[in-house]
Structure 1
Amino acid sequence: MALVLTEEQSMLRDSARGLIGDHAPVSHLRALRDSRDATGFSRDLWKSFAEMGFAGLLVPEEFGGSGLGCVEAGVVMEEIGRTLMPSPFLSTAVLAASALSRGGNKAQRSEHLPKISEGSLVAALGLDEGAKHRPLQTKMQAVRSGNGFKLNGAKALVVDGHVADLLIVAARTAGQAGERDGITLFLVDPKTKGIATERTIMVDSHNAARIEFDNVEVTADHVLGEVDQGFALLEGVLNVGRGAVASEMVGLSEEVFGRTVDYLKERKQFGKRIGEFQALQHRAAQLYIDIEITRAAVLNALQKLDSDFENAASAVAVAKARAGATATRAVQEGVQMHGGMGMTDQFDIGFFMKRARVCEELFGDANFHADQLARARGY
């Protein structure tokens, strides 16, 4: 399959770029940060997002969505990365929509997917419990109680957790930390008795939360997928999320590159524009090559998720690891080529550096995915 967008996908990109560029430039994120906005994103803008069909990209048509694929979701995420737009697109339109579409029963899909598509429901995935992404190390307990379960434990770095109307929570119904079997996914109302949510102040000014569960009661109807066999569903959903975050990092990297090149053409030193210095030209050229290679790797992973979902894990691992390394290099070069001013809050480059660092950690850093790839190939 050619590693280029179709005409329809290019039109979707242009539509998303127009909306996001006009209504959510980096100054939008800066304003939310400076005002200490309690929500962390613009609900009016999210409503506009939904009205244009972006919130329902991965929702099947029968539930009010577009029924499109991961490539289309990646196209939108790339545009989000260009302006660092804070929104529930990743948590809700990508992760939750994928989880419900792939693992939900008819009642669960009918109840939640139309609301996601219309932008009236924000959902969040509660997975990691420590400082690093380790899905198999899930320790949170779900003990059988009557016709359901009681949840006990805590989740960290829950994206959009403090504003979520619905939580998708991974917990152990059997086995020990490190085992694939025994993980079950639950749909939980965050207003349920025993849930305590604390918003986390993120370095990149985006939303996250820590959520504690103290004897939280859920019924069997709240189980998403199969009891004890939720890891396969979870891993598939995470791969979709990883592809989306990798796309965001591609957009972020390209925006930083563009801003840096513009600066090289304007800034003068020793009577010459610094872009005339060969050393900086070489560094800029290498960064451009890295971004284009990464773009191809990410698009390949997204296409693989759409065409051969069950066998896409390796392509996704390559894409996420490559995107993290490229974004890190892009922001570091951007800051260095801007000189000391690049580290000041006056310039937007610092926002991109902080977001790149968070995206690198989301759903596994480069080391995590290199390890996953090595294990998959028998090393």
Structure 2
Amino acid sequence: MDFELDETQREISRLAADVLGRESDTPWKAMGEAGLLALAVPERLGGDGLGVLETAVLLTEVGRRAVDVPALATLALGVLPIVRYGTPEQQDELLPLVVEQHGVLTAALSEPSLPLPAEPGTTARWDGAGVVVSGEKINVPHATAAQLILVSATLEGRPVVVVVDPVADGVSTSDGRVRLDEAPGQVLGVGDGAAEGTRQPAPQGSAADGIRRLALAGACAVGDGVLAGALDLTVKHVGTRHQFGKPLSTFQSAACQVADVYIAARTLHLAALTACWSLDDNDLGTAAYWLAAEALPAVHTCHHLHGGLGLDITYPMHRYYGMAKELTRFVGGVEHRLGAIDVH
């Protein structure tokens, strides 16, 4: 397998690095103005018509700089599922929120004690031209800022994705949590004008299964960048910080710890790239497990190598640690990811 980025992907990486590397109080707006939020949007709607790998390259750059923007939520959990599974009418209605308004989308997939379940406990039923959905979701990124929420639910015995307006009746959002009580919405991939009895998602469960895979792929892409960015910061620190008249990097203990972080970072990079390329459950499971098992301990080592400087809130290391912690929680933690790997 060729792990080299093509020219388009390298240009996306360069542009993202330039935009995110600038001193800006509004990095999300800057990304939108640079066209980075429209990478996967169809060309007819003002986008570039690109795919998962190009979006993953952007997400990795966001993680590399530990920038607090809703990129994972909007792009991997919102734009990509709508492009892949939404009807043309749904795409025309929903995607301009991101392309033109630089709005925020997210997805509510996990439930209490059920990280990213294939069969959601949240339920939906037909109600007139749409559906109503009820249930509780956790670990919802940027829940309070989102203008649309894609909710995984079970409808007539099959998993679907329901697009919900967070200000609609029956929806309440708080930090990372969404509660739904007969909240109105539309099923992703099913037109509102479909006749009664013909409103079936096709193929069965494709959107619900697809958004789960895209969520894992996106999280791994961000995690790849987080670990790479933390490592870069640490290498610079131990190379310039002196003790006993020598750089920290010349001490064997420090060098060995940096080497361990490098191995973890390179492994996650290759696993994440493979998972984003294939979207195969086995590849996704391997990458998500490595993210959950290795990213946070590796960033912890970077913290340790920085000494007291790593705890300074004006220094960026705490952002990497916070993002690694959130990503670990998002994918379900080490034990869950290990149990989810298909050993057959």
- Equivalent residue for 1:215? 182
- Equivalent residue for 2:319? 351
1:350 counterpart letter in structure 2: H
- Equivalent residue for 1:178? none
Q: Take 2:271 and 2:184, find their aligned partners in 1: how far apart are those partners?
A: 43
- Equivalent residue for 2:197? none
Residues 246 and 324 of structure 1 are in contact (CA less than 8 Å); yes or no, is this contact kept in structure 2? Answer: no
**1:239 and 2:213 aligned:** yes
Q: Take 1:119 and 1:215, find their aligned partners in 2: how far apart are those partners?
A: 28
**1:303 and 2:270 aligned:** no
- Equivalent residue for 1:365? 333
Following superposition, the deviation at residue 270 of structure 1 comes to 3.5
1:169 counterpart letter in structure 2: V
Residues 119 and 154 of structure 2 are in contact (CA less than 8 Å); yes or no, is this contact kept in structure 1? Answer: no
Following superposition, the deviation at residue 108 of structure 1 comes to 0.8
Q: Take 1:145 and 1:247, find their aligned partners in 2: how far apart are those partners?
A: 38
Could you list the per-position Cα deviations for residues 39-71 of structure 1 after superposition, in whole angstroms to 9, with x for gaps in the alignment? xxx4xx333312322111122223321111222
Could you list the per-position Cα deviations for residues 152-178 of structure 1 after superposition, in whole angstroms to 9, with x for gaps in the alignment? 222222212212221211222244xxx
**1:258 and 2:229 aligned:** no
* 3-state SS of paired residue (2:95): helix
Q: Take 1:295 and 1:228, find their aligned partners in 2: how far apart are those partners?
A: 33
Residues 154 and 211 of structure 1 are in contact (CA less than 8 Å); yes or no, is this contact kept in structure 2? Answer: yes
**1:130 and 2:93 aligned:** no
**1:96 and 2:96 aligned:** no
Residues 52 and 80 of structure 2 are in contact (CA less than 8 Å); yes or no, is this contact kept in structure 1? Answer: no
Query: Which of 267, 282, 293 in structure 1 is aligned with 2:267?
Result: 293
- Equivalent residue for 1:9? 9
How many aligned positions are there? 334
* 3-state SS of paired residue (2:136): strand
Distance 1:344 1:187, change over 3 A: same
Percent identity (aligned) = 27
Query: Which of 91, 114, 118 in structure 1 is aligned with 2:100?
Result: 118
Following superposition, the deviation at residue 21 of structure 1 comes to 0.7
Deviates more, 1:286-295 or 1:113-122: 113-122
Distance 1:326 1:7, change over 3 A: farther
* 3-state SS of paired residue (2:181): strand
Q: Take 2:216 and 2:3, find their aligned partners in 1: how far apart are those partners?
A: 18
Distance 1:328 1:217, change over 3 A: closer
Query: Which of 183, 186, 197 in structure 1 is aligned with 2:173?
Result: 197
Q: Take 2:152 and 2:319, find their aligned partners in 1: how far apart are those partners?
A: 31
Could you list the per-position Cα deviations for residues 9-48 of structure 1 after superposition, in whole angstroms to 9, with x for gaps in the alignment? 1121111100001145xxx6xxxxxxxxxxxxx4xx3333
Distance 1:346 1:21, change over 3 A: closer
Query: Which of 263, 282, 286 in structure 2 is aligned with 1:318?
Result: 286
Deviates more, 1:286-295 or 1:160-169: 286-295
Residues 342 and 349 of structure 1 are in contact (CA less than 8 Å); yes or no, is this contact kept in structure 2? Answer: yes
Q: Take 1:224 and 1:258, find their aligned partners in 2: how far apart are those partners?
A: 40
Q: Take 2:93 and 2:9, find their aligned partners in 1: how far apart are those partners?
A: 29
Following superposition, the deviation at residue 262 of structure 1 comes to 2.0
Following superposition, the deviation at residue 358 of structure 1 comes to 0.6
Following superposition, the deviation at residue 185 of structure 1 comes to 1.7
* 3-state SS of paired residue (2:332): coil
* 3-state SS of paired residue (1:161): coil
Distance 1:236 1:263, change over 3 A: same
1:61 counterpart letter in structure 2: E
Summarize the alignment of residues 57-76 of structure 1 with structure 2, pairs less than 5 Å apart: 57-76=39-58
Deviates more, 1:253-262 or 1:110-119: 110-119
Residues 171 and 179 of structure 2 are in contact (CA less than 8 Å); yes or no, is this contact kept in structure 1? Answer: yes
Q: Take 1:61 and 1:147, find their aligned partners in 2: how far apart are those partners?
A: 29
Summarize the alignment of residues 275-286 of structure 1 with structure 2, pairs less than 5 Å apart: 275-286=249-260
Residues 73 and 142 of structure 2 are in contact (CA less than 8 Å); yes or no, is this contact kept in structure 1? Answer: yes
Following superposition, the deviation at residue 354 of structure 1 comes to 1.6
Q: Which runs of 5+ in 2 are unaligned?
A: 190-199
Distance 1:21 1:131, change over 3 A: farther
Q: Take 2:211 and 2:120, find their aligned partners in 1: how far apart are those partners?
A: 16
Distance 1:217 1:299, change over 3 A: closer
* 3-state SS of paired residue (2:331): coil
* 3-state SS of paired residue (2:144): helix
* 3-state SS of paired residue (2:178): strand
Task: Note the aligned Cα RMSD (angstroms).
Answer: 2.4
Q: TM-score, normalised by structure 1?
A: 0.80
- Equivalent residue for 1:224? 188
Q: TM-score, normalised by structure 2?
A: 0.87
Distance 1:229 1:70, change over 3 A: closer
